[in-house]
């Protein structure tokens, strides 16, 4: 079954304690992306990657890191989480066409993060 998986699904942590949210897709997609969703603000892009070892900042990258060492995995790292990073996080993946992001995005189930 084609899918994007995220772990953990729920996480409560304290300020400053480094954490990683994993994302994996089994569709051989080139494009992967992380979004956060906050009430009233909708989905906002954190980082994206168009292929292995290629990553770029989205609209709200501050406080986050990513890496793309393998095509299937795109972990999101919070080196020193703060309460303003409390949010619902989604990973997504897509094929890339000749003209760029030409195909539908597949979303993971989401990770609800609370930083106290």
Partner 1 sequence: KNEVEQSPQNLTAQEGEFITINCSYSVGISALHWLQQHPGGGIVSLFMLSSGKKKHGRLIATINIQEKHSSLHITASHPRDSAVYICAVRGTDKLIFGTGTRLQVFP
State whether residue 59 is helix, strand or coil.
coil
Q: Among 115, 95, 111, which Cα is nearest to 27's?
A: 95
Q: Based on CB atoms, which residue is closest to partner 1, 15 or 103? A: 103
Q: Among 44, 19, 20, which Cα is nearest to 34's?
A: 44
Q: Among 89, 107, 94, which Cα is nearest to 13's?
A: 89
Q: Based on CB atoms, which residue is closest to partner 1, 80 or 90? A: 90
In whole angstroms, the minimum distance from the beta carbon of 85 to partner 1 comes to: 18
In whole angstroms, the minimum distance from the beta carbon of 105 to partner 1 comes to: 6
In whole angstroms, the minimum distance from the beta carbon of 16 to partner 1 comes to: 27
Where along the sequence are the contacts to partner 1 (CB under 8 A)? Answer: 31, 33, 35, 40-45, 48, 50, 56, 58, 88, 90, 92, 99-107, 109-110, 112
Residues 108, 48, 37, CA angle at the centre, nearest 5°?
50
Q: Which residue has the tokens 């790292």?
A: 77
In whole angstroms, the minimum distance from the beta carbon of 30 to partner 1 comes to: 11
What does the DSSP 8-state code read for residue 48? Answer: E
Q: Based on CB atoms, which residue is closest to partner 1, 26 or 102? A: 102
Q: Based on CB atoms, which residue is closest to partner 1, 25 or 33? A: 33
């Amino acid at each position: 079954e084609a899918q994007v998986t995220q772990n953990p699904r729920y996480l409560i942590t304290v300020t400053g304690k480094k954490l990683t949210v994993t994302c994996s897709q089994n569709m051989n997609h080139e494009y992967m992306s992380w979004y956060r969703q906050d009430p009233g603000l909708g989905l906002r892009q954190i980082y994206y990657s168009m292929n292995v070892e290629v990553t770029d900042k989205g609209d709200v990258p501050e406080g986050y890191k990513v890496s793309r060492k393998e095509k299937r995995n795109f972990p999101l790292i919070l080196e020193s989480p703060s309460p303003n990073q409390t949010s619902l996080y989604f990973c997504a993946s897509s094929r890339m066409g000749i003209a760029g992001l030409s195909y539908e995005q597949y979303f993971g189930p989401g990770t609800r993060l609370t930083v106290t």
